[in-house]
Structure 1
Amino acid sequence: MNNDCMQQVLAALELAEEMIRQTDRVETVCDDDGCLVVYSVIKDCAYKIKQAAQRELRTLCDRKV
Structure 2
Amino acid sequence: MTDFLTALALVLVIEGLFLAILPHRLRQIVAMLEQIPPDHLRLGGLVAAGLGVFCVWLLRG
TM range (shorter): 0.3 to 0.5
The one of the two structures with greater contact order (alpha-carbon pairs below 8 A, sep at least 6) is: 1
- TM-score normalized by the length of structure 1: 0.40
TM score, norm. by length of structure 2: 0.42
